Each structure stands twice: as structure tokens, then as C-alpha cells.
Chain A
Amino acid sequence: MSETNNAASVTFDDVRKVYLDDFVAVDGFGAHIDDGEFITVVGPSGSGKSTLLRMIAGLEEITEGDIEIGDESIKGVEPQDCGIAMVFQNYALYPHMTVRKNMSYGLKLTTDLSAEEIQRRVRETAEMMGIEDQLDDKPANLSGGQQQRVATGRAIVRDPKIFLMDEPLSNLDAKLKVHMRTELQRLQEELGTTTIYVTHDQHEALTMSDRIIVLEEGELQQFAPPSEVYNEPANRFVADFIGSPAMNFFDVELNGTTLVGNGFEYDVPSSIVDAIPADAGLELGIRPEDITYDATGDNTISAVVEVVEVAGSDNFIHLDIEGLECRVRVAGGVKPSVGEQVNIAFDPDDVHLFDASGENLLAERSDRATPVETEEAA
């Protein structure tokens, strides 16, 4: 279907976006997305992820810096001439047009294809999306899932160089969301079109993308494959944002080869000690799934069970370590009583250490496990 998908790379060169009220939405953003990659952009609300996408789409002006598609700047180029198609969060289907017209509208305006050719492409795409029976319906008569397919089909039929997707699944129920997630991945693999996908859902980011862009307050925090973002978060923000339940953090001090926290001590190997600069204010991070519950032997930490959350296949246990809260992920069969005294332990390889500025001191180590699938736990 695609003969125009050449050099559909996207380069951000020190991009900055300031709104009229002096609000800086994106600041100093630089990144290069390769042709055919599936990139997700994640971050909390207001982190600038949608602004970034809208700048590529030409819906927002770039205040400073530049965005290039292939080798060409998008500045001053009309959106339809950049080879871009976008799927909006609320689909933005034209309510007064049938599905067929919704899908053919862009082709009609931007190409000199014959009416028959346009209809053929609309029909093909509709069949690919499984909405061929809805072509003569209006959007209001479609279910949420069908509307989503029409919105995606409308983008696909344009045969764009780049797909932009702004939280396209956020209006669907949980089950349909998982289904459409798989379907979008399949489509992207089939079409090989560069895709930039904005979401606030970290599960979507971890499961769908080749690489993840993590944004916070308009600044790039990390741009790496999902496993790296999960296992080697660049800083405390990424560590906290990615993963559900969130990583546990404890203020600690290094005393010889022992990390001393409020109410616990933890011995670390010299490889970790060597990575810690002198007089650094330290924070220890450990993921709930990396903690061994009810451990024995040396280097364990004593805690009291406070809350047991039953979540089906897994349970989440909230522990109290001398006033500090610690979450542990355990198998579904483990259901301790509240108030029970337990020992926990974790592997030094799973430990993350952040300095006072939040930077991950151990990020360059490469002996990490693959990410744990944190399925719909949040």
C-alpha cells in the first residue's frame, strides 16, 4: 500500500514551545526517531506530550528549534504536505458525514486520485479495519470501538509517512483497550509506518513501543527501549513514573558498604559502593516485584504487615518499616495477616540508587532482567 514511506524519520532539534501566557510546554527537546519506529510519548498530565505531537502535526507553532521529517523542516509547510495523519483522542470524526465520507475526505482534498480509486482505497482500508459494513453509517450510530477503528482507518487510508496518535484508546473500556492495543501493534508492523503515540498509560507504552520518550514538565527525561526505561530509569522521576505499583524509595546514607536508612540497614557489594560519589545524598529505590517476601538469612529487613490488597493473580502487601511504607508484590496465594512481623530481602542487582538531583547512579549497569509485565494492576 505504501510507496511514499521513505525517510520517514523525525528529528527534534532543541524544540521549545511557549504559549502566549508564557507557559513553557516543551523545553529544549531533542531526539531522533528512525523510519518505521513505534514511539510512545508518556508523562503525567501537563508534561507537554500532546503539545509535542501537535507541533509535529502543524497544529501548534514551534516557538524555537526545529522539527524535521526526513531531512526537511516542517516549519511553514502545510500539515497535509508533511505526509502526516493523526488519530485524535476523541476521534474528531465529522458527525454529519458517513464513515465513507469521513475516510475519503482527506484523500479527496489532498490527492488527484479518481473517485473510483478513492472508493477502492476506502473499501480496502475499511476491510482491513473490519468496518466495511459500517461505511454508510454516521459516527453517532457506531460503538466506541467502531468509532476508534474509523478514526484509525481515516488515518491509514491517507497512506501517510507518519502516524500521530493522541491517546487514541483512552475512551475505550479496559477489555476493548487491550484488544485495540494489539490490533494497532499488528497494523503498525504490517504497514511499517513511523508512529508517534502519546499516552498517559504506562502499560501501553511498555507493551507497544520500540522506544519510549518520557517527558516531565516539557523536558525529556529518558528516550530508550521499554526494558531499559523499566530496568535502568535515567532518574528518580522515570523510576517513579514507570512501573505499577510504583517503586519504593528510601532515604539512605552510605556507611562503609552499608546503606543505612531510617530503621533498616542493607549491605551492598563494592561494585555499587564504587559508583557512589562521596557525600552524595542518597535515595534507595527498589521495585515491589524485586522484593523477596518472608526472606531468611543475612541482609534482611524487618517489617510489619499493614494492608493486604488482593488483586487476583498477584497480591500487594503494604509493609511498615519503622514508619516508612514499603509495597511488595507477591503471588496470589500469599495472604498474611495484618500486624504480622516479616523479613524482606532484595538482590543488590535490583537496587536503584539516586543522588540528590534524582539521577540514577547505577543506570549504566546492564545486568538487568527483562521487564515484569505489570498487567492492569493499577
Chain B
Amino acid sequence: MSQSTQQTDADEPGPIDLSESATREWIAGATFSLPYILIAGTFLFGPLLLALYMSLHDWNALNPAQSQFIGIENYQILLSDPDFWNALWNTIYFVVLTVPPIIIGSLLLALGVNRDVKGKWLLRTIFFSPYVLTVAVVGLLWTEIFSASGLVPYYVGGGNWLTSYDLSMPAIAVATIWWQLAFNFIILLAARQNVPDRLYEAAKLDGASTWRMMRDVTIPQMRNPLVFVVIVTFVNSFQVFGQPFIMTDGGPSFSTTTIVLYLYDTAFTGRQFGYAAAVGYVLFMILIAISATNYYFLAGDDQ
């Protein structure tokens, strides 16, 4: 018996069949990938393709077979639709109001809690607790706080913020920041705790001030989680729906109608599913572009 046959099945002596082992490997690989392919295919790529298909049709929701192909007409309408542009600008305004405070705030909280402060675990719990609430609870809670008889008008003034054209979006932003800060805080705290102390000791001996340590050690060492947090926060803020839906229903005077809220209204109130799909696709493209830009500028040369 040759050496190679010792590794094969005792019933089938002979050299190893390479093509057979490759096939077996392929089957194993496919089996392991199958759950992901099925789930992603059903809930991600399927809807993605269907939405593209819908956006190119005058979609008839009751009888899809009677939908008419209209090419890029939905997209052409969209570009000259003032309501779409209003929703887009509202969304960008919301992103500007929420993304910087959420990222900077969660980073500062994480760095603060990482220090040797007493009652660290209590602070961690307090800062994280809003995240476990659902958007409905958060929306109702902050609706109360911003209502005419709520805490904010009482202390800050401004009457009912949610019925004010200028204050309604900042009010939604405050609620969102309070709610979303926690998730980023936990990720960034874990990231900060992964930075080895020895790097700070080396930096101290190199003469680095606290600020230099933050700039030259902490931030570069937390870069990957920071990139993740920035991208996820951008995506979440662009996709905001629940908070304006519950707190203002897009008002007053459409001042808090965001893109997803506009998409929802167009589809389920206006019954224009094809047009809504086009709105969704434009949002999808915007998010891809922003995520790619963030990744390109933040992820650095070793990504």
C-alpha cells in the first residue's frame, strides 16, 4: 500500500481524488453559506431588486400585473418635486443636528467613564438605559417633555416645541440624541478599554501631554470603532422615521417631514408605490455615497 492510500477510506484504496475533495469542500462551503444567502436574498437583495423594479413602473399595488413600465419617469418627477426636496433638506437638517452631538457626546462620555471615577458601573447603566426603550416610548416620553405643559417649555420657554415650525425639528433631534447616544457610548467605551495602558506609559515618557495622548494614541487606536459609529449614526439619522412619525407626524407645515416619512406617506397614504420606491432608491444611493465617503476619509491607509 502506497503512502497516499493510507489517508483514504480503507474500503477504497487508491490515490486521493483531488476533484472529489474539492467538490466536498465546495458542498461544505455552500452549506455554511446557505442560511445567509437565503436570509439576505429574501429580506435584502430580493426587496432591493423588487424596489428597483417597482420604481420603474406606475405600480398597481392591488394588481401588480397591471403595473405599467414608465422607465425613469418616477425619478424625473422626483427631481422636480418640491415635497421631496423639502423632505431631503429636513433630513439633512436633522442629520446635522444629531450626528455631531451623538458622536462627540458618546466619545466624551466613553472617555470620561473610562477614567477612574467612583460609581463607574452606575454611570454606565444610566447612560446605556435609554437605548433599551423602543422608539414609541421615547417618542411619547419626549412629546410630554416638549408639550406646552412639559418640562422644556417650563424651564427653557418656547411654548409647545412640537407645534413650532422652528423648534419641532430641534426637539426631535434632542430626543434622538438622548436615545441614540447610548449605543455609541457602549461601543466607544469598549474600544477605549481595548487601548493598552502601555501605550500611554510610552507616550508619557515621550513627553506627550494629555491632549497629545488623546490625539496621537487614543483616537488612532479607536479608529475602527469610530468609523463604525460614524457610519451607523449617519445611516440611522438619514433613515429617521419613528420619532417624527410619533412626535409631530411630519408637521407643523411639513417642517419635520423626513425622507422616510415622505416615502411612507407617498406609499401608504398616496398609494404611489412606484414613486415611493424611487424615493427609497434615491435615499439608498445617498447612504451608499455617504458611507463610502466616510470610510474613505476616516478608515485610513491600513483598511
Assess the B204–A95 pair: CB atoms within 8 A: no
With an 8 A cutoff between CB atoms, is B207 at the interface?
Answer: yes
Q: Known contacts being A105-B216, A109-B212, A138-B302, is A92 close to B206, with CB within 8 Å?
A: no
Assess the B205–A80 pair: CB atoms within 8 A: yes
Which among A79, A90, A96 is the interface contact of B221 at CB below 8 angstroms?
A96
Not counting A78-B207, A109-B212, A138-B302, a sample of 14 additional A-B residue pairs whose C-beta atoms are within 8 angstroms of each other reads A57-B201, A79-B207, A80-B206, A84-B205, A85-B205, A88-B198, A92-B202, A94-B199, A94-B216, A94-B217, A95-B221, A105-B206, A106-B206, A106-B207
Question: How near does chain A come to B227, taking the closest CB pair, in angstroms?
Answer: 13
- Contact indicator per residue, chain B 203-225, by CB within 8 Å of chain A (1) or not (0): 11111100010001100110100
B207 contacts which chain A residues (CB < 8 A)?
78-80, 106, 109-110
- What residue of chain A has the Cβ atom nearest to residue B201's Cβ? A59
The dominant DSSP class at the B interface is helix
In order of increasing CB-CB distance, the 6 nearest A-B pairs are A80-B207, A106-B206, A110-B207, A92-B202, A92-B198, A96-B220
| A side interface size, CB within 8 A | 22
- What residue of chain B has the Cβ atom nearest to residue A78's Cβ? B207
**Separation of A27 and B198 alpha carbons in the complex (Å):** 25
Which among A58, A95, A109, A138 is the interface contact of B206 at CB below 8 angstroms?
A109
Interface centre among A80, A96, A138 (most CB of B within 10 A): A96
Assess the A79–B223 pair: CB atoms within 8 A: no
A86 contacts which chain B residues (CB < 8 A)?
202, 205
Give the size range of B's interface with the partner: 10 to 19
A138 contacts which chain B residues (CB < 8 A)?
302
Assess the B201–A92 pair: CB atoms within 8 A: yes
Q: Known contacts being A96-B220, A96-B221, is A106 close to B199, with CB within 8 Å?
A: no
CB-defined A-B contacts under 8 Å, sample of 16:
A57-B205, A58-B205, A59-B204, A59-B205, A80-B206, A84-B205, A86-B205, A90-B198, A94-B216, A94-B220, A95-B221, A97-B220, A105-B216, A109-B206, A109-B212, A110-B207
**Separation of A53 and B220 alpha carbons in the complex (Å):** 28
Assess the A58–B202 pair: CB atoms within 8 A: no
Which among A79, A90, A93, A96 is the interface contact of B204 at CB below 8 angstroms?
A79
A57 contacts which chain B residues (CB < 8 A)?
201, 205
**Separation of A84 and B204 alpha carbons in the complex (Å):** 11
Question: How near does chain B come to A99, taking the closest CB pair, in angstroms?
Answer: 14
**Separation of A169 and B201 alpha carbons in the complex (Å):** 19
Assess the B202–A96 pair: CB atoms within 8 A: no
Q: Known contacts being A109-B212, A138-B302, is A94 close to B202, with CB within 8 Å?
A: yes
- What residue of chain B has the Cβ atom nearest to residue A94's Cβ? B199
- Contact indicator per residue, chain B 121-164, by CB within 8 Å of chain A (1) or not (0): 00000000000000000000000000000000000000000000
Which among A59, A85, A97, A109 is the interface contact of B208 at CB below 8 angstroms?
A109
- Which residues 54-84 of A sit at the B interface, judged by CB distance below 8 A? 57-59, 78-80, 84
- Which residues 155-212 of A sit at the B interface, judged by CB distance below 8 A? none
A96 contacts which chain B residues (CB < 8 A)?
220-221, 223, 300, 302
**Separation of A106 and B205 alpha carbons in the complex (Å):** 8
Question: How near does chain A come to B194, taking the closest CB pair, in angstroms?
Answer: 12
- Which residues 174-199 of B sit at the A interface, judged by CB distance below 8 A? 196, 198-199
**Separation of A93 and B217 alpha carbons in the complex (Å):** 11
B206 contacts which chain A residues (CB < 8 A)?
80, 105-106, 109-110
B203 contacts which chain A residues (CB < 8 A)?
94, 105
Question: How near does chain A come to B28, taking the closest CB pair, in angstroms?
Answer: 32
- What residue of chain B has the Cβ atom nearest to residue A80's Cβ? B207
Which among A79, A93, A97 is the interface contact of B205 at CB below 8 angstroms?
A79
**Separation of A94 and B223 alpha carbons in the complex (Å):** 14
Q: Known contacts being A94-B217, A96-B223, A105-B216, is A88 close to B202, with CB within 8 Å?
A: yes
**Separation of A129 and B208 alpha carbons in the complex (Å):** 25
**Separation of A88 and B191 alpha carbons in the complex (Å):** 23
- Which residues 253-280 of B sit at the A interface, judged by CB distance below 8 A? none
B201 contacts which chain A residues (CB < 8 A)?
57, 59, 88, 92
